[in-house]
């Protein structure tokens, strides 16, 4: 948006007085529960969350996290990250919706899934980034890295439901 004759561009996010309504798939977004992310594989048992559940995650300094794979966007010493687990019941396309713009990888059997789409969240929404993956049934690990904050909200949703 350009303000009057001044020629000053204002980013779309600055034009929002309040957050927009999220699509129905994000119905659980406002009702997040808190979990601390794991810093290594042994801590993953206490980080499980369900597809369709919103979680507020607590992150650790990136240098303290022993990622299962080397995240593509592993952060600098001053950034934060962590790992959490979720279970996929049906094959399909899954979206990781993030409240911050961070690096995200989804890992199964020690291999990171390739992102098939990514972008910003819906205008004026609390979703700042979204990344989509084609996933198969089984346990998965979400690796978050490169955050500038020690916490954020996220969800994993199955598309097409």
User: How many angstroms separate the Cα of 86 from the Cα of each of 17, 107, 146, 155, 157?
Assistant: 34, 10, 21, 10, 11
**Residue 2 pLDDT:** 38
Domains of the chain, first to last: 23-158 (2.60.120)
Quote the tokens at residue 72. Answer: 């593509």
**pLDDT over 80 (residue 5):** no
For residues 100 and 6, which has the higher predicted lDDT (pLDDT)?
100
For 40-52, how does the pLDDT look when each residue is reduced to its tens digit (9 = 90+)? 999 999 999 999 9
**pLDDT over 70 (residue 84):** yes
pLDDT confidence tier of residue 78, bands split at 50, 70 and 90: confident
Closest C-alpha among 111, 119, 17, 32 to residue 71: 111
Distance CA 99, CA 161 (A): 22
Phi and psi (nearest 5°) for 145? -150, 165
- Please list the residues that pair with 95 across neighbouring strands: 132, 157
- Please list the residues that pair with 61 across neighbouring strands: 80
Residues 6+ apart with CB under 8 A from 115: 131, 132, 133
- Please list the residues that pair with 8 across neighbouring strands: 3
Lowest mean pLDDT among 33-42, 60-69, 115-124, 141-150: 115-124
Residue 99 is classified by DSSP as S
Q: What percent of the chain has pLDDT over 90?
A: 64
For 60-72, how does the pLDDT look when each residue is reduced to its tens digit (9 = 90+)? 998 899 999 876 5
User: What pTM, to 2 d.p., does this model score?
Assistant: 0.83
Residues 6+ apart with CB under 8 A from 5: none
Q: What percent of the chain has pLDDT over 70?
A: 81
């Amino acid at each position: 948006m350009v303000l009057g004759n001044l020629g000053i561009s204002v980013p779309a996010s600055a034009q929002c007085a309040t957050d927009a309504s999220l699509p129905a798939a994000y119905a659980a977004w406002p009702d997040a529960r808190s979990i601390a992310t794991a810093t290594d594989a042994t801590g993953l048992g206490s980080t499980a969350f369900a597809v369709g559940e919103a979680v507020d995650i607590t992150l650790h300094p990136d240098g303290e996290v022993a990622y299962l794979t080397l995240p593509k966007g592993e952060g600098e010493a001053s950034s934060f990250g962590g790992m959490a687990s979720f279970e996929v019941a049906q094959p399909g396309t899954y979206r990781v919706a993030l409240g911050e713009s961070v690096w995200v990888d989804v890992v199964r059997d020690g291999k990171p899934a390739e992102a098939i789409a990514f972008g910003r969240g819906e205008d004026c929404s609390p979703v700042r980034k979204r990344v989509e993956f084609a996933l198969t049934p089984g346990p998965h690990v979400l690796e978050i890295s490169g955050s500038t904050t020690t916490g954020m909200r996220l969800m994993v949703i199955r598309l097409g439901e």
